[in-house]
Amino acid sequence: MGDKYQEYDKAIADADVKSNRDLDRLSKKENNVEFDKEYQKTDMEMNNTVFPKEADCKREADGYRREEKENQTALANPSTNRTYWAALLLLTVLSLVTRLHNIELPKHVCWDETHFGKMGGWYIKRTFFFDVHPPLGKMLIGFAGVLTGFDGMYPFEKPGDEYGEDVNYVGMRIFCALLGAALVPLCYMCTWLLTQSTIAAFFSGLLILLETGTLALSRHILLDPILLFFIMMSTYSVLKFLSYKDDPFSLCWACWLCMTGMALSAAIGVKFVGLFVILHVGVTTILDLWRLLGDKSNTLVDLAKHFLARAMCLIALPVIMYMVYFFIHFVVLNESGNGDGFYSSAFQSQLKGNKLYNVSMPENIAFGSIVTLKQRRTGGAYLHSHWHLYPEEHPPRQQQITSYTHKDENNKWLVKPSDHDVGEGEEPQIVRSGDLVRLEHVGTRRNLHSHREPAPLTKHHFQLSAYGSNGTGDSNDIWVIDIPGYAVGTPIQTARSKFRLIHYYVRCAVCSGDKKLPKWGWEQLEATCNPNLKDTRTLYSVEEVDDARMPNSSFELYSPSFWEKIVESHAVMTQGNSNLKPKEGEISSQPWQWPIDYKGQIFSGKSHRVYLLGNPMIFWGCLAVKSLFLVVFLVTSIRTQRGVRYTKVWRDYKEKTFRACWWLVMGWALHYLPFWPMTRILYFHHYFPALLFSAMMTGVMLDFLITLLCVSVPENLTVSVFHTCLGLVLSSLVYSFYLFHPMVYGMSGPMASEEGSQMHGLRWLSSWDL
């Protein structure tokens, strides 16, 4: 049918060309009579040409277009493609086998299992804690632990601790491994949706299957396999949604749009890195809306419906789901834990077992009261001291004053008048704004002190210290209570009043910063005396009061609303992330090191060594193919600009390939480049979301390059060249996995640099700790 329609089309075109050519020739003749005769002759020839009736031609054309659309639909439907399903099944089975093989080994805590296994246990025990990541990933780990018999009692104290025979840790590892195994089929299906090429999809899945770093992350109790799963689920869902662009507002179209929104909320609900896939989907959605705007068949009402559907499913739905995760988080973690001190007094008052829960204590403080002072900002720390002195490089060697984020006995201070001690039986005198006070550290009996020596880290601030003996010091121990915005004489109210402690002589205010002290300061936060009296970091409040002389008031703190809890939690997490700086001797990495596989991360020591390192053949191959793509695209663009013509089939194939590659490069860039300006500590595992997009792009380009090579050789060599290229790629990937798989499943014996090591000769870079 299509050939017949094309014959009609060609006959009409040839007749038009002949008619135009004859008319042009005759119009140049001067004899108008001859022109008329020739014109009539040409007109008769046109009339004698046999064409189908207009209705028949239109019917034939409609049938051809309908058949072509059906063929394209069949091509885009993998249910009719046996090769598609065979390759998908093979990759899925191999992914499960490689991820679950000896999953119980090593039988000790590996790397960050000490954090996330512990946090999963806290969910089971309903104990409140603080973490810099949103709660969904840890909740899922805890839920997996409940389903598999883990009681949450194992402490996960430090890497290397042996799991006892009665610790059901394997179930949580299996849960993470299953999500990690799903990455392979998801990458395969994503690539197929972009290219409709089984070869490209198979290459993409195989690259993730045999990538040792992704495999290592998937086999432990970590957030990374959960995050990677939801990132890829978001990617697959949006591509599946776009595949129904010709059938808008259908059930499948709506389901995949909603699935995209739910996967996006889950991705950012595990780690804030999920924001990058939200940006990727957001840019894709904007481009899709721009395409719809250019389609004149869409009315303004249609465009409004499209926009509203995307706003509801990709903005409103993820926000609602994200808040649901936190609602469950707050409901489950209702017992006091070691994370209380990171949050405000009002927040803590909601936790059972906290000293502020159903609080009953003096409403005001008096001279002679023992108090704890907490910085009045989200995530603020307690004013703290201990017996340790400042080192010699920070003279004078007086007792350290720090800021500490946890509740501790060393956070307690005795409030005294500036000129005498409070005697026994003395009537309590309320402390008010404008009073001169001394603060005696209860544990060491030294007074809060300052002088004009620079602070240890913030040199434009003055040093805070504890000075004296048995509560006796000097004039530099005197502080003025100041409540901003209130008159002198206003009483200090417990938990409500925001005040400053201003040094009487130096005229600086007690301040808690965000800088961590070195090991000599136990990596607690620096506390200083800030000359800028208007700095908001100088505001404190009294959180707890202990004074038997004062009547207790059964008052309730202003309980925070759910929205206030959400805001405070995010402020605390943001501050916690910004405070994640490299510790002395801690192994970290920089973004420039990640694509070149410069160095990895030790997961496990002892006799069963696990090392997180990307498969170098895949990492370096992805980098090379990415560079080659830019070269090929540039050369092709130049050739097209210079007028080089391609066949329609090759042009369509090339455009589809380049379009898929650029989309995947955008995904890689959005998950990689934002790490460059970050100031927080970074690790190698932060690169793996970007690696997923890099691997898919490499699979697409390998298929394109092999096809390009095949069409460039004589036709009789095409099959041989194709099978040779396919064999080289497959054998290289499998052999590289065979060489480096001990890094994942456990290395024993000598190090790689020694004779007899199973990894001998494979330490290709000196920075690898094999």
Reported as a single tens digit per residue, the pLDDT across 420-433 is 888 887 889 999 99
Reference 450, options 439, 463, 441; nearest CA is 463
Question: Taking the CA of residue 710 as centre, how many other CA atoms within 13 Å lie in the half-sphere pointing to its CB?
Answer: 16
Q: Distance between CA atoms of 274 and 266, rounded to whole angstroms?
A: 8
pLDDT at 46: 47
For residue 658, name the pLDDT band (cuts at 50, 70, 90): very high
Task: Identify the three-state secondary structure at position 334.
Answer: coil
Percent of residues, the chain, with pLDDT higher than 90? 75
Task: Identify the three-state secondary structure at position 453.
Answer: strand
Single-letter code of the amino acid located at 674: P
Other Cβ atoms closer than 10 A to 19: 15
pLDDT at 393: 93
Q: Give the contacts of 194 (CB within 8 A, at least 6 positions apart).
A: 239, 660, 663, 664, 696, 700
Report the interhelical angle of 54-75 vs 2-27 (nearest 10°).
Answer: 130
pLDDT at residue 680 greater than cutoff 60: yes
Question: What is the per-residue pLDDT across 54-70, written as a single tens digit (0 to 9) for each?
Answer: 455 455 445 544 544 44
For 757, list phi and psi in degrees, rounded to 5: -75, 145
Q: Distance between CA atoms of 360 and 495, rounded to whole angstroms?
A: 12
pLDDT at 323: 97
Per residue in 352-377, is it b (16+ CB within 10 Å) or e — as a string?
Answer: eebbbbebebbbbbbbbbebbbbbbb
746 dihedral zone (left: phi>0; alpha: psi -120 to 50; beta): left
Q: Give the contacts of 444 (CB within 8 A, at least 6 positions apart).
A: 385, 386, 387, 399, 466
More confident residue, 661 or 640: 661
**Preceding amide of 155 cis, omega within 30:** no
pLDDT at 36: 52
More confident residue, 85 or 495: 85
Is the distance from CB of 576 to CB of 80 less than 8 angstroms? no
Q: Distance between CA atoms of 85 and 91, rounded to whole angstroms?
A: 10
pLDDT at 424: 81
Q: Distance between CA atoms of 69 and 79, rounded to whole angstroms?
A: 17
CA-based radius of gyration for the chain: 35
Question: What is the per-residue pLDDT across 88-105, written as a single tens digit (0 to 9) for each?
Answer: 999 999 999 999 999 999
Segment 146-150 mean pLDDT: 96
Reference 342, options 422, 407, 279; nearest CA is 407
Inter-CA distances, 362 with 6, 435, 552, Å: 94, 19, 4
Q: Distance between CA atoms of 19 and 23, rounded to whole angstroms?
A: 6
pLDDT at residue 456 greater than cutoff 50: yes
Q: Is residue 754 packed enough to be buried (19+ CB in 10 Å), middle (13-18) or exposed (0-12)?
A: exposed
Reference 57, options 127, 9, 117; nearest CA is 9
Task: Identify the three-state secondary structure at position 229.
Answer: helix
Q: Distance between CA atoms of 727 and 254, rounded to whole angstroms?
A: 41
For residue 44, name the pLDDT band (cuts at 50, 70, 90): low
Type and span of the H or E element at 721:
helix 718-740
* Widest pairwise Cα distance in the chain: 136
Q: Distance between CA atoms of 70 and 79, rounded to whole angstroms?
A: 14
For residue 31, name the pLDDT band (cuts at 50, 70, 90): very low
Q: How far is CA 749 from the centre of its chain?
A: 36
Is the distance from CB of 701 to CB of 628 less than 8 angstroms? yes
The structure tokens listed for 93 are 């089975």
Task: Identify the three-state secondary structure at position 765.
Answer: coil
Q: How far is CA 488 from the centre of its chain?
A: 49
Mean predicted lDDT score pLDDT of the chain: 89
Reference 1, options 73, 65, 72; nearest CA is 65
pLDDT at 50: 45
Reference 544, options 748, 340, 355; nearest CA is 355
In the DSSP assignment, the letter for residue 469 is B
Question: What is the per-residue pLDDT across 162-209, written as a single tens digit (0 to 9) for each?
Answer: 999 999 999 999 999 999 999 999 999 999 999 999 999 999 999 999
For residue 751, name the pLDDT band (cuts at 50, 70, 90): confident
Reference 264, options 281, 250, 248; nearest CA is 281
For 516, list phi and psi in degrees, rounded to 5: -90, 135
